[in-house]
Structure 1
Amino acid sequence: MSLSTATDSEPPSPSLIPSLPDDVAVNCLARVPRSQHLSLSLVSKSIHSLVSSSLFFNVRSLLHCTQHVLYLTLRSHGPSGSLQWFSLHQNILNHSHTNLLVPIPPMPSPSVGSAYAVLGHNIYVIGGFINDVPSPHVWILDCRFNKWRPGPNMRVGREFAAAGVADGKIYVIGGCVADTWARSTNWAEVFDPETGRWDTVPSLVEVRDKWMHASAVIDGKVYAMADRGGVVYDTRNKVWESVGCELDLGWRGRACVVDGVLYCYDYLGNIKGFDVKKGVWKELRLRGLEKDTKGLPKFLCGATMADVGGKLLVAWEEGSGKEIQICCAEIEVTKNDEGELWGKIAWSDKVLSAKKGSSIVHCSAVPL
């Protein structure tokens, strides 16, 4: 068979953009905002294949074109209490936002009381209990393709552990009763994605506790808030410390860190931020949208928060009857020269209708 005949029998794949080399076209297409990727994938089969490829995400990362996408976990009401997973789809047309939570495949083996950590384009769901037994299992969601895979097991089973990412490694603290040699020795562990292994983090007897109600990472330190005081692990100096009284007393419920400031809700339902360097709490002064002078509701029991690319996102349940609404608001937070915290509500929207009794379990943002 001649070369020309062989070439004719296998026609080359069409170019991404006619008259442009494919490598140039990839660099151009990778710069398109993520909100337009769905429309972009409809242009042609070759572009559709590109947008759903590892190459596309790698180029976006190299070009620093990634955008943070919110992922939210919802627990349905009822005996089973099944977990539902969603990603936030945002579309911006004529300076107006359309925000909608879109369902993604559920975790193959759901558990209760898991810890969550974001590392690269992956969300790690760590431990939890299955049939009332703490689990050592880890599930990993590859957010590029919304596909699940099992991760390496921890050394011990955990429920309601603290977790955080520092210097490219995942740290888990507590969530197990330190009543055996294995649980005591492995009360804290660290996962290195390069080796794919969990290793023990040496811990002092006096810092070990069981239930962790919140955690955060600030400047390389993992803060784990327990039901009887909190502890801090300095990952760089490998030193354990106690949480200061101001932070311990003021940290209520779920929190997140944006630009080195830890945000949560106080007992009056207002957002406040903690400056770790100064050791003081400051109230976040909100400015609402022009069409929404009310700002945000008062969350006396708190709400779920996430750092979405340097912006503070708040998610909450609202309404009564047969359905409730899942709502989100994105806040641009700044700190002036006097240390005062200001927040401007960029958008606030109802993003999902859910069955009555459903509740938000967790939300986090992933760069894609």
Structure 2
Amino acid sequence: MDFKSKKKLKNESFVDKFLEGRDGEGRGDYDGGFKSGSNDSLIPGLYDDVALNCLAWACRSDYFSLSGLNVRFSKLMKSGYLYELRKKLEIVEHWVYMVCDPRGWEAFDPMRNKWVKLPKIPCDECFNHADKESLAVGSELLVFGRELFGFATWKYSLIHHSWFKCEGINHPRCLFASGSLGSVAVIAGGSDKSGNILKSAELYDSSTGKWEMLPSMHSPRKLSSGFFMDDKFYVIGGMTSHTESLTCGEELDLKTRKWRRIEGMYPNENKAAQAPPLVAVVDNQLYAVEYLTNDVIKYDKENKKWDVLGRLPVRADYSNGWGLAFKAFGKQLLVVGGQRSQEGEAIVLNTWCPKSGIKNGSLDWKVLGVKEKVGVFVYNCAIMGC
């Protein structure tokens, strides 16, 4: 096989597989691995596989504009192939998705310091104004809430820039623990529509859009928090009844599908009026917020205890942890909360990198972004990295 034939086959494996069967156009007009006409090439003068690598390094915020260049670019963007390529090349941009107004979601692009409005969820008004949980997994944002006739889950597709009804969840619930790792997410516990506290768990695979049941936890719990650490899923905190708090944690090994109970993993007892534990994992290290003292604490896995690191850049004690987001943002911790000043109210996004250490007994928080004139309460927040 000569060089031109090899390059042609390579190009077809990169590009034509997602065009195949879509419109029947342009599968035989390659010339030495690139399109014979400049209008048919992704980037004129470049082999398409080289062009794809260039496009993978473009900012996510440019993809919407690129999709409007021509039909071929539009199909490329809608195929989701570039996000798969970015994953292989380990190219990640973290965007913040949040709701500070019940009427709609917005995304913050930190590279462009730009806020982007998402399309409105095509749900009923009950869903808009009811309490919700949210979770980013793969290139999707899942939002769980109540519609007029029961629980509903909507998902926003980054690739299609649209909302879709997420079907297939086995036990609809609220007030559950959740976490995601790559293209999979786990939800555990919570309450059903009758108020019963659950110990069941489910796994969602965003690459297939399918839900599957997992083994149940040892204890039913609601108002708990979930996260992945060391490739295992954990649940901490919460309440096992309307009056009884849990200080134990539970660990799920997805390989063996078995739960392990960890005594005393989260000694701070939850109360019904308090928010679930605010936790985040950076570099497989677990951090949390202590509501009453406004401190950031870190879990010592070896000694199974919590150490105080420093203060938050905003106050969490005003509302028992509600209205505040504490998330992993790549290699940094992110705190999203409201602040009041002479200029008015605003939501401020602050980051701190644990690798930068603690200076003079304090954490060196940096302002990542500001959203003005939206109040001071964060209803939902999720971080999508892709």
TM-score (structure 2 length as normaliser) = 0.70
Question: C-alpha displacement at 1:320, in angstroms?
Answer: 6.5
Partner of 2:278 in structure 1? 254
Question: C-alpha displacement at 1:305, in angstroms?
Answer: 1.6
Partner of 2:98 in structure 1? 72
Q: Is the 8 A contact 1:175 1:212 kept in 2?
A: yes
Q: Is the 8 A contact 1:70 1:88 kept in 2?
A: yes
Unaligned runs of 5+ in 2: 1-28, 30-36, 240-244, 271-275
Q: Is the 8 A contact 2:184 2:204 kept in 1?
A: yes
Question: C-alpha displacement at 1:66, in angstroms?
Answer: 2.6
Q: 1:274 to 1:85 in 2, by over 3 A?
A: same
Q: 1:57 to 1:329 in 2, by over 3 A?
A: same
Q: Name the SS of the counterpart of 1:318 in structure 2.
A: strand
In the TM superposition, 1:120-199 aligns within 5 A as 120-126=138-144, 128-131=145-148, 135=151, 137-165=152-180, 169-176=184-191, 187-193=200-206, 196-199=209-212
Q: Is the 8 A contact 1:317 1:324 kept in 2?
A: yes
**2:318 is the alignment partner of 1:297:** no
Question: C-alpha displacement at 1:102, in angstroms?
Answer: 2.1
Cα RMSD for the two superposed structures: 3.9
Q: Is the 8 A contact 1:271 1:283 kept in 2?
A: yes
1:169 and 1:273 map into 2 onto residues whose CA distance is 25
Question: C-alpha displacement at 1:298, in angstroms?
Answer: 4.0
Which of 228, 231, 236 is the matching residue for 1:217? 228
Structure with a larger share of its residues in strand: 1
What code does the residue aligned with 2:121 have? M
Q: Name the SS of the counterpart of 2:378 in structure 1.
A: strand
Which of 369, 372, 375 is the matching residue for 1:353? 372
Q: Name the SS of the counterpart of 1:249 in structure 2.
A: coil
Which of 91, 103, 108 is the matching residue for 2:122? 108
Question: C-alpha displacement at 1:258, in angstroms?
Answer: 1.1
What code does the residue aligned with 1:207 have? S
Question: C-alpha displacement at 1:343, in angstroms?
Answer: 5.1
1:332 and 1:254 map into 2 onto residues whose CA distance is 17
Question: C-alpha displacement at 1:130, in angstroms?
Answer: 3.0
In the TM superposition, 1:1-368 aligns within 5 A as 13=39, 15-34=41-60, 37=62, 41=66, 49=74, 52-53=77-78, 54-74=80-100, 76=101, 82-91=102-111, 99-109=113-123, 110=127, 112-126=130-144, 128-131=145-148, 135=151, 137-165=152-180, 169-176=184-191, 187-193=200-206, 196-203=209-216, 207-209=219-221, 211-219=222-230, 220-227=232-239, 228-229=245-246, 230-236=248-254, 237-249=256-268, 253-266=277-290, 267-285=292-310, 296-301=313-318, 302=321, 303-319=324-340, 324-334=345-355, 344-345=364-365, 347-356=366-375, 359-368=377-386
| Cα distance per residue 1:181-208 (max 9 Å; x no partner) | xx7898333334566543333336x612
Q: 1:29 to 1:243 in 2, by over 3 A?
A: same
Q: 1:38 to 1:150 in 2, by over 3 A?
A: closer
Question: C-alpha displacement at 1:360, in angstroms?
Answer: 0.9
Question: C-alpha displacement at 1:145, in angstroms?
Answer: 3.8
| Cα distance per residue 1:49-104 (max 9 Å; x no partner) | 48844333333223222322221122x3xxxxx3421111234xxxxxx6233211
Question: C-alpha displacement at 1:158, in angstroms?
Answer: 0.9
Question: C-alpha displacement at 1:47, in angstroms?
Answer: 9.4
Question: C-alpha displacement at 1:232, in angstroms?
Answer: 1.2
2:171 and 2:67 map into 1 onto residues whose CA distance is 46
Q: 1:40 to 1:179 in 2, by over 3 A?
A: closer
What code does the residue aligned with 1:212 have? L
Identify which range, 63-72 or 316-325, moves more after superposition: 316-325
1:193 and 1:313 map into 2 onto residues whose CA distance is 24
1:117 and 1:71 map into 2 onto residues whose CA distance is 10
1:334 and 1:170 map into 2 onto residues whose CA distance is 27
1:249 and 1:185 map into 2 onto residues whose CA distance is 21
Q: Name the SS of the counterpart of 2:165 in structure 1.
A: strand
1:334 and 1:34 map into 2 onto residues whose CA distance is 27
Unaligned runs of 5+ in 1: 1-6, 77-81, 92-97, 287-294
1:217 and 1:188 map into 2 onto residues whose CA distance is 14
Q: Name the SS of the counterpart of 2:81 in structure 1.
A: helix
